[in-house]
Amino acid sequence: MNDSTAGIVTAARQLDWGSIVIRDGRIAAVALDDE
């Protein structure tokens, strides 16, 4: 995981789960689940 990806993951965690973020120049739906 590079710094860019880590930053995106951190930002996603600050938003609601399933938020739409830009990843690798593409729109991607984030569905992270640490619970």
Q: Is 20 helix (H, G, I), strand (E, B) or coil?
A: strand
Model confidence pLDDT, tens digit, residues 1-35:
567 777 777 776 776 555 566 666 666 666 555 55
For residue 24, the model assigns a pLDDT of 65
Q: Could you tell me the residue range of the domain that residue 24 belongs to?
A: 1-35
For residue 21, the model assigns a pLDDT of 64
Counted domains in the chain: 1
| Closest alpha carbon to 30 in 1, 5, 7, 9 | 9
For residue 32, the model assigns a pLDDT of 56
For residue 7, the model assigns a pLDDT of 78
Tell me which amino acid residue 10 is.
T
Note the pTM of the prediction, 2 decimals: 0.28
For residue 9, the model assigns a pLDDT of 74
